[in-house]
Chain A
Amino acid sequence: MKEQLNGIRVKAQEELSTVGSISELENIRVKFLGKKGELTSVLRGMGALTAEDRPVIGQLANEVRSFIEGKLEEAKKELMKKEIGLKLEKEVIDVTMPGKRKMLGKKHPLSNVIDEINEVFIGMGYEIAEGPEVEKDYYNFEALNMPENHPAKDVQDTFYISENIILRTQTSPVQIRVMENKKPPIKIICPGRVYRSDAVDATHSPIFHQVEGLVVDKGVTMGDLIGTLKVFAKSLFGEKTDIRLRPHHFPFTEPSAEVDVSCWTCGGSGCRVCKGEGWIEILGAGMVHPKVLEKCGIDPSVYSGFAFGLGVERTAMGRFNIDDLRLLYENDVRFLKQF
């Protein structure tokens, strides 16, 4: 019987060493350990053993059983590993195929620029003010120190709705509306759409956008204006950007300046983008004209302020290297998707 048991152990080990699948493994289990299996049938013969042999054989039989069980488990693990491996091998996919995307839309480049500017100034404590596009000429001209028959009214080529209602030619009327309704301190920017009767070409559009800024308080200086514009230019065009102010004339500011930023392409050494100048004009600015403050009921001997304005289209065209303004209003999806 002892030989029989040892024989079963050897045989089981042999068979297990060549097993190829989980189902074969089950067959082996049944064959050796099943109710009608070899080990069971050997154990059935235990009754014929002597009382002395019985525990010895019993122990051996248990050893054989647990040996086979252990081997079975081992083989099973091995096989499962193999099977997973095979399965994974079959499941290879082409990871270079395109992803399933939920396509996002794009913000218009003009919105991009306006948002960026808004963000810079909100960070500096400004609020965003708004005003009507169809505006009284008083707010667009007279309140801004351009009285009746002022040549600027011609220069700015105004669209008229009626004798004294126009399409605003600048966002500056919003300044007036704010100053009329709010006591200083005032710290606002006003982005918005403006109109001038320019025929459409690569650099002109009868409709375009401006962002206007206004600060009024006690003791506001031209130095503050320069400092503010420096921060702004660096935020919008990069840390290395410098600005330069040139004296200019606007009816609603005194002193007035045109503001250049160092060229974003060459950094100031001169290139095609800045036409070799190293500087690009982007802003008009100045100290709010005392007459403008007076018209809004603000005493210029107590308060002072600065204002600035820039063209959004021009800035966007510079930032994104867009060579034709018409692209911005044509809305070709292939253009819009680039921003």
Chain B
Amino acid sequence: MKAPIKWLKDYVNINVSPKEFSDAMTMSGSKVEGIEVQGEEITKVVVGKILSLEKHPDADKLQVCQVDVGNEVIQIVTGAQNINVGDFIPAALVGATLAQGKKISKGKLRGIESSGMMCSIEELGLEKEDYPDAPDDGIYILGKEYPLGLDIKEVLGLNDTTVEFEITSNRPDCLSIIGLAREAAATLKTEFIRPTVSIKEEGDEAQKYASVEIKDPELCPRYAARIVKDVKIETSPKWLRDRLKAAGVRPINNIVDITNYVMLEYGQPMHAFDLRDIEGEKIIVRRALDGEGIKTLDDIDRKLDSSMLVIADEKRAVAVAGVMGAANSEVREDTKNILFESANFNGTSVRLTAKKLGLRTEASGRFEKGLDVQNVVSALDRAVQLVEQLNAGTVCKGIIDCFAKKDEERILKFNTDNINKLLGTQVSTEEMIDIFKSLEIDVDADNFTVKIPSFRKDLEREADLAEEVARFYGYNNIEATLLAGKASSMGKKTYKQKIEDIIKNTMISCGLSEVYTYSFTSPKVLDKIRLPEDSELRKTVVIQNPLGEDFSIMRTTTIPEMLQVISTNYNRRIEEVNLFETSFVYLPKDIKELPVEKPVLTLGMYGKVDFYTLKGVVEELLLKLGITNYSFSPQKDNPTFHPGRTAVININDKYAGIIGEIHPEVTDEFECPERTYLGVIEIEKLIEFSKMEAEYKSLPKFPAVTRDIAMLVKDEIMVKEIEDILLQRGGKILEEIKLFDVYKGKQVPEGMKSVAYSITFRASDKTLTDEDVNKVMAKILNGLKTNIGAELR
């Protein structure tokens, strides 16, 4: 809401600077978004008098003028033809700025020095309409004599400042000059000058020309109208146009301007109908018929339905209530008699109608917040008073006022102690009463009750009154305290939250950096990762109103986003990338129930890494979480992954995740490096099986015996199979096995590989003899030979 300070001053004395005013208003709740000083961009333009005019020696169309600008005489070369010696003109000095930031500097025109410029009305950023004495083309000759050197802005009346407020949705009353003036008076602790309006009403009875019927009082509690006869449609006077423009509204003609002026001043949207277009001389406020058509003022044909309210005559709709009038009853050049509408409509209904029609207007934006029923008639009176003031027509006697549903008067109790207790203050009852009164709230001090004015629908209970007290006591005057004794508790993270921290920290210490990706995605990515048609993950939570197809489903897998991040980095020629993300996947249940939000850890890497780098990170994590009963088994048939380089992770025999190299068709789709490694681990499984309490085991007292063995096995034998045999056959004295070599090539037959282990034995109660170890080794070798056909090398 843009409020020109001059306009506000009609209703409140503001005797502080615009900056001080703005700061004070911001701190009492009417946040100032900006201050606009009229003609701010125009500088160093003064009143000058033309002393002499000579033809330019080298240019026919130029003249050389001597101009007295008060403290000096400057020479200006000009192409203007409408000037004469003795004229008073706006003279821009060297260093001046004009409209659109145009700067004036010293220069030469065809060899003759020019130290300034004479200005037209447009060059001063103004409109000819506002200065009718300005010529269509040429320098603006000031009609009168002014002191030479006087700032031109004073001559032109450019000295208003407009303050732009951000008004919160609970305060539609502040979307008006009067509402803001009321707030300003309370803020500046000065008097609010109540509007007074007197009307002559020189016409005959309004009732003779029209009547009003409200068919739906729920949607239209009140509808008031006045009749103005013999209107003269013309341009509004300058003061009115100035105020509208300062408030950001384009002037049109006197009648339209009056409706806009009253809307800005009183906060009550109005409409003017051409009375000859109201058939049957009757206004009927009713719901639209389903499919009823109307051409609105913006010349668009619209289809209505029965949820919408229209203003109609006996035959047709003439306006969409609270939104926009119809072209069929518009005020035109030849309009004779008009009907001014000032009404109150149900906010929700207007909002939904405007939304359905895709037509949000200044009026609908105001109605939807819920306006004051009592304001309807005051605004209407103000409108016709302006008609009289502007000599725009003859106002008929009386108001046609249909008040179908009255507001209930709201009386609230207040308790000084309760309010102070909520705020943590010691504001006295007297101070509180003063604050309420400054806001036009009637106080019954004996009964501790207040009568809420009709324009303050937001005040519903004591907490709302507490806010009013706090606003004018000053939020920042409230003493800062800490919750001593209250809500005292020990803050800590839950076990789950701690494990999540450990997961992140372990990833970071393993060299992985954290990423954040969007949790909605495109259904197409499920094809790109080659998800089978019948995959459960294709059942997704679908957004009804997405920003676009690319953001239309909640993800059921995090793989595509990780691949996307990898692709972004790869395309930017980054050689090495190690990343992780902890996030949710969203798995739908029943349509009426919320989906399951499952937390997952996603890992992604490329560069100088391979499957085992990724596996190492996972093993590090499992170790850190005290998880020992896990296994990695080959996974050949996950279509997103390489069939020979992918493993499923099981913890305590339950599926806990997958890691592997991404399938080349998938890396191709995402433009990822050929060797891209990715893992997805279920965080819930990590939490479930984590074991964070450590227990000390005494250090060994007896020495260990180590034996190294190398064996030839078939290529397809996995080391897991060898290790299972080693562990099983090694018995109690086996302490540790360590794989130290896997070799294929020279000296190893085709289809075979050499695998070497270092096996450590130790007993807890004695020093092992060779014999003890030999016995176990024999068992092991036998097992290896019979179970997997291993040959010792």
Contacts and interface: CB of A to CB of B under 8 A. Distances in A.
A222 B483 contact: no
A187 interface: yes
Given A246-B29, A336-B513, A121 B491 contact: yes
Contacts of A337: 513
Nearest to B28: A247
A244 interface: yes
A172 interface: no
A135 B594 contact: yes
B559 interface: no
Contacts of B423: 221-223, 255
A257 interface: yes
Contacts of A104: 508-509, 511
Contacts of A218: 486
A221 B544 contact: no
A290 B465 CA distance: 13
B482 interface: yes
Given A255-B471, A337-B513, A289 B489 contact: no
A226 interface: yes
A149 B352 CA distance: 8
Interface residues of B, number: 87
B743 interface: no
A151 B351 contact: yes
Interface string A120-154: 01111111100011111000000000000101101
The listed residue with most A CB atoms (<10 A of its CB), out of B463, B466, B471, B597, is: B463
14 contacts: A105-B580, A125-B489, A128-B494, A154-B355, A155-B169, A160-B543, A167-B543, A186-B487, A193-B519, A206-B547, A223-B479, A227-B483, A228-B482, A328-B516
Contacts of A167: 543, 554
A171 interface: no
A185 B170 contact: no
B165 interface: no
Given A122-B492, A230-B480, A256 B467 contact: yes
A331 interface: yes
Contacts of A195: 520
The listed residue with most A CB atoms (<10 A of its CB), out of B355, B423, B580, is: B423
Interface in A245-266: 245-249, 254-258
Interface stretch (B142-150, B567-575, B648-656, B689-697): B567-575
A319 interface: no
Interface in A184-231: 184-187, 193, 195, 197, 199-200, 206-207, 215-224, 226-228, 230-231
B565 interface: yes
Interface string B494-512: 1001000000100111111
Given A222-B422, A226-B481, A248-B29, 20 more contacts: A105-B509, A105-B510, A106-B514, A125-B490, A127-B489, A127-B491, A133-B597, A149-B348, A159-B544, A162-B591, A165-B592, A185-B489, A200-B547, A221-B421, A226-B478, A246-B475, A247-B28, A247-B29, A328-B516, A333-B513
Nearest to A279: B26
A125 B487 CA distance: 9
Interface string B62-92: 0000000000000000000000000000000
Interface in B426-479: 458, 461-464, 466-467, 470-471, 475-476, 478-479
A245 B466 contact: no
| The 5 A-B residue pairs with the shortest CB-CB distance in the complex, in nearest-first order | A223-B424, A221-B424, A247-B29, A255-B467, A249-B168
A257 B475 contact: yes
Contacts of A215: 483, 487
A275 B510 CA distance: 41
A111 interface: yes
The listed residue with most B CB atoms (<10 A of its CB), out of A216, A258, A328, is: A258
Contacts of B464: 254
A199 B491 CA distance: 38
A167 B369 CA distance: 25
Given A247-B475, A254-B463, A332-B568, A224 B481 contact: yes
Contact of B471 (A118, A226, A247, A330): A247
Nearest to A242: B476
Given A132-B597, A136-B594, A331-B579, A221 B481 contact: yes
A108 interface: yes
B414 interface: no
A244 B491 contact: no
Contact of A199 (B424, B467, B544, B547): B547
A167 B551 CA distance: 13
Given A106-B513, A151-B368, A217-B486, A124 B491 contact: yes
Interface of A: 102-108, 110-111, 118, 121-128, 132-136, 149, 151-152, 154-155, 159-162, 165, 167, 184-187, 193, 195, 197, 199-200, 206-207, 215-224, 226-228, 230-231, 244-249, 254-258, 287, 289-290, 300, 304, 328-334, 336-337
Contact of A187 (B480, B489, B508, B517): B489
A336 B422 contact: no
A112 to B, nearest CB: 9
A136 to B, nearest CB: 7
B510 A329 contact: no
B63 to A, nearest CB: 45
A221 B363 CA distance: 39
Nearest to A102: B511
A336 B421 CA distance: 47
A197 B492 CA distance: 34
Contacts of B171: 249
B389 interface: no
Nearest to B546: A159
B514 A332 contact: no
Interface string B358-382: 0000000000110000000000000
Nearest to B171: A249
Contacts of B594: 132, 134-136, 165
Given A125-B488, A160-B543, A255-B466, A331 B517 contact: yes
A334 to B, nearest CB: 7
A107 B424 CA distance: 40
A136 B352 CA distance: 22
Contact of B516 (A128, A151, A226, A331): A331
B487 A217 contact: yes
B516 A162 contact: no
Contacts of A334: 572, 574
Nearest to B518: A207
B425 interface: yes
B584 to A, nearest CB: 7
Contacts of B28: 247
The listed residue with most A CB atoms (<10 A of its CB), out of B369, B425, B545, is: B545
Given A105-B580, A107-B504, A159-B545, A224 B491 contact: no
B321 to A, nearest CB: 17
A169 to B, nearest CB: 13
A90 B368 CA distance: 87
Contacts of B483: 187, 215, 217, 220, 224, 227-228
Given A122-B492, A185-B489, A331-B516, A152 B541 contact: no
Contacts of B355: 154
Contacts of A244: 476
A142 to B, nearest CB: 15
B368 to A, nearest CB: 6
Nearest to A286: B467
A219 B486 contact: yes
Interface in B505-558: 507-520, 541-547, 551, 554
A8 B513 CA distance: 77
B170 A107 contact: no
B390 to A, nearest CB: 35
A309 to B, nearest CB: 16
B17 to A, nearest CB: 16
A220 B518 CA distance: 38
A106 to B, nearest CB: 5
